[in-house]
Copies of this chain bind each other. A is one copy, B any other.
């Protein structure tokens, strides 16, 4: 069923009802929920799950590299289960909707060594901003 669950089980994760529910909530493409949204959906399936557990579980998934943390604004972090293929994000400045995008080109290659200030550069995030069709239509 869930690729995410399978991969987590394969890493020796102890499987609990809470972790199963969180993994189920985080399934699909273009999923970018906040921790509170994950909690709300998890509660619908398992009413006694606590906020702390949701935070712990999301944090562990991020540590394992199975979920990506996205901070597109200064509000709540969002969690993106689509960690297996590199991608970037397109964010609506009005409503906050996020889409995964796959631009051409490699931004890493665009940073010459004399612009690295001696850093060991390990990654790059690209965030496109704009207005989504829905917000454009409703003014």
Q: Which residues from chain A sit less than 8 Å from chain B, CB to CB? A: 69, 71, 73-74, 77, 90, 92-93, 99, 101-105, 107-112, 115-133, 136
Q: List the B side residues contacting A131 at CB < 8 Å.
A: 119-120, 122
Q: List the B side residues contacting A127 at CB < 8 Å.
A: 124-127
* Cα(A93)–Cα(B122), bound, Å: 9
Q: Are B117 and A99 in contact (CB under 8 A)?
A: yes
* Cα(A109)–Cα(B104), bound, Å: 9
Q: Are A132 and B105 in contact (CB under 8 A)?
A: no
Pick from B73, B107, B116: contact of A126, CB under 8 Å = B107
| Minimal beta-carbon separation of A18 from chain B (angstroms) | 23
